[in-house]
Amino acid sequence: MTNGKQPGDTCVLVTGGCGFIGSHTVVVLLEQGYEVVVVDDLSNSSEKVLDRIDQIVGDEAAERLTFVRADVADRDALEAVFDEFDIDAVIHFAGFKAVGESVEKPIEYYSNNIGNTLALVDVMRNHDCKSIIFSSSATVYGDPDALPLTEDSPKKPATNPYGWTKWMIEEILRSLTVADPAWDVVLLRYFNPIGAHPSGLMGEDPKGIPNNLLPYVAQVAVGRRDAVHVFGNDYDTPDGTGVRDYIHVMDLARGHAAALAWMAGKTGCEVFNLGTGTGTSVLEIIRAFSAACGRDLPYVIEPRRAGDVTANWADCTKAHEMLGWDAEFGIAEMCADSWNWQSHNPNGYEG
């Protein structure tokens, strides 16, 4: 809720709402009674996800969803959205998100991710809408000095342009709250989102070769890839492979709804980690997914990738205490739901 409004009286703009995390968040918002407007240019997502959302939430809830195909950097398109709808708050997911690609295309990443954020908050300001939740990332912590990571852990220099865009957008939004205390900003730092909607109707559907571990593992399981590539087995971890804090996408979606309800007209800038608080190695993920799909998945050990950290996981005490939020799902459930999605949709939303 924002400004004390009930969900049924609250209209939320979700940028990038057809993407992996955005679409699952839209489901939770609709189920909680919010009016939702999705703006997405479909550059890295599928319009077919909208039909899946309708199937999951049902006809009545689906009537509260409006889709606008537009680039968030298109000010005229955004102005039209704010003119037509009385937007109370924004959840900002839209942006390019492939780490490797960002190294190859830094201009495109800086231009898109930072440019669309600047256009968005300027249009928001013009329409006196000053509540925003930003989809940030644990990448802002860089190579951690100590674990677990808390919201007070220092931000470190990013190791790639994608990470720098998250880092910079956080600073842009902080600056807004300093310049104008009426702004209400929440920065949600995700750890590693995986899993899928338990219905099997929605999940992660990356275009091209997946950049993240789980969709790659899932594509090996359905025969689209030959083997999982494990980058480095000589890290200072129990089995030598990198350790990350994986979080179920539905837990992450509930985290956004919890943050939205918590804001309720507050002002200032607040940061929350969203993770499970547990680290899981790459080999543990492969074993868990093998159990989920019922066969051992092949993998090959490759050299370390530049920029990969040894380990990170979150301390989510703050989200528990202030948002009343906790992650509910473990690795077995994350892998089972991911396999359920991938096995029923071997080619993602395209078939």
Contact indicator for 350, 46 with CB cutoff of 8 Å:
yes
| Cα 209 from Cα 338, distance rounded (Å) | 17
Q: Which residues are catalytic?
A: 162
Question: Which tokens belong to 47?
Answer: 């319009």
**Alpha-carbon dihedral sign for residues 245, 194, 197, 53:** positive
Minimal CA–CA distance to 277: which of 329, 313, 237, 324? Answer: 313
Residue written as token pair 């609250």: 10
Contact indicator for 197, 56 with CB cutoff of 8 Å:
yes
Residues contacting residue 24 through CB under 8 Å, at least 6 positions apart: 197, 202, 249, 250, 252, 253
Residue written as token pair 């968005």: 120
| Cα 121 from Cα 142, distance rounded (Å) | 26
| Cα 93 from Cα 24, distance rounded (Å) | 12
